[in-house]
Amino acid sequence: MARKKPHEDHVNHEAWAIPYGDLMTLLLAFFVVMYAVSSLNEGKYRAVAASLASAFNAPPRSIEPIQIGDNQRSEAMVGRPTANPRGAHDGPGKTPLLDSPLQPMLESKMRADRIGDSGADAASIAASREQLARIALQLEDTLAEMVRARLITVRRSDLWLEVEINSDILFQSGSSSLDSGAQALLSRLAGVLRDLPNPIRIEGYTDDRPIATAQFPSNWELSAARAASVVHLFVRERFAPERLVMVGYGEYRPKAENDTDAGRNANRRVVLMVLATPDTGAPGPQPPPILEPPAPSYPAAPVPAVAGVAAPRPPASTPPPQGDS
């Protein structure tokens, strides 16, 4: 009788995967529970991160110390100069507000509000207000028919002047090319603003109707391209390029609801912001007068006497004529 061969057990070489999967599942559940029961204090987190970065000689990410809890800066400390910590200048750049040409006027206005209506700051604000009022009158005169038809709106402020133009009189639907009539209109506008020192910011806006073309994938590109078209026309009208700034807001700064045709029409617009100049009419320190040094005076050289010739005598002073007594 033949002997029965013993059955060989199959060796599973992947048996480690089962406990490994169980371990990963448990770890995932553990961290999910820890995250659910934890409460993250952002201020403390940033303070710890800044301390660790300082300890490891890395440039800190925050320029000013982080205030935690009720330890706020007192009012007397506001405005005092503070030293920048090491590495502060290596961090992120300036904010757009600090890069704005309007920043000196904003600081000047805040100082004038604190000290009252006296001083050079208040005088600068008043001079800028008067200059912007004159510009507004010129624009309303030049574009009177458009203003009366409410296709152009001129708004005044202490530090800027807004000229809002409806996009329908500038561009065709879905286009950033200026119409011939729009070019003539903007040329008239440029004639008023060309020789002024004020910076000009051109802003483009659209309604919420989506656009997806090869040239304009979204309303961001369309609004920016329309603002750029106005900028290029002003440069052709001999504007200094450093005076011009363009911004495209797309559909995200509506002035009316987009659920009606009138609202969408109001949201399609181009806004020209004429910014105040910080030194318009402000009294500045006068340079001291330059005094010319007096011409040096030298004594007359003696005339040598020649033999047989008498030396010339100085002329006798004649007495002044006497008046009638």
Q: What would the pLDDT profile of 13-23 be if each residue is shown by its tens digit? A: 777 888 888 99
Token match 């000047």: residue? 108
Q: How many helices (H) and strands (E) does the chain have?
A: 9, 5
Tokens encoding 313? 């005598």
With residue 137 as reference, give the H or E element that holds it: helix 120-142
Token match 């010739």: residue? 309
CB 139 within 8 A of CB 192: yes
What's this model's pTM, rounded to 2 decimal places? 0.52
- Residue 241 pLDDT level (bands cut at 50, 70, 90): very high
DSSP H stretches of helix in 9-119: 17-37, 42-55, 96-99, 103-115
Q: Is 245 helix (H, G, I), strand (E, B) or coil?
A: strand
DSSP H stretches of helix in 143-218: 144-148, 180-193
Residue-range domains of the chain with CATH:
120-275 (3.30.1330.60)
Distance from the first to the final alpha carbon of the chain: 181
Distances in Å between the alpha carbon of 47 and those of 44, 83, 88, 259? 5, 19, 16, 46
Q: What would the pLDDT profile of 65-81 be if each residue is shown by its tens digit? A: 545 454 444 444 444 44
Q: What would the pLDDT profile of 162-173 be if each residue is shown by its tens digit? A: 999 998 889 988
Q: Other C-beta atoms within 10 Å of 108: how many?
A: 23
3-state helix, strand, coil in the chain (%, to 5): 40, 10, 50
Q: Is 147 helix (H, G, I), strand (E, B) or coil?
A: helix
The burial of 250, by beta-carbon neighbours within 10 Å (0-12 exposed, 13-18 middle, 19 or more buried), is given as: middle
* HSE-up (13 A, CA, CB side) for residue 4: 3
| Proportion of the chain above pLDDT 70, given as a percent | 58
Residue 308 has pLDDT above 60, yes or no: no
Tokens encoding 215? 């040239």
Residue 124 has pLDDT above 90, yes or no: no
Q: What would the pLDDT profile of 253-305 be if each residue is shown by its tens digit? A: 999 999 999 999 999 999 999 988 755 444 444 444 444 545 555 555 554 55
* Complete edge-to-edge strand list for the sheet that includes strand 152-156: 152-156, 160-166, 269-275, 200-205, 244-250
The burial of 75, by beta-carbon neighbours within 10 Å (0-12 exposed, 13-18 middle, 19 or more buried), is given as: exposed
Q: Other C-beta atoms within 10 Å of 245: how many?
A: 18
- Residue 217 pLDDT level (bands cut at 50, 70, 90): very high
The C-alpha atoms of residue 66 and residue 69 are separated, in whole angstroms, by 10
Q: Is 169 helix (H, G, I), strand (E, B) or coil?
A: helix
CB 162 within 8 A of CB 272: yes
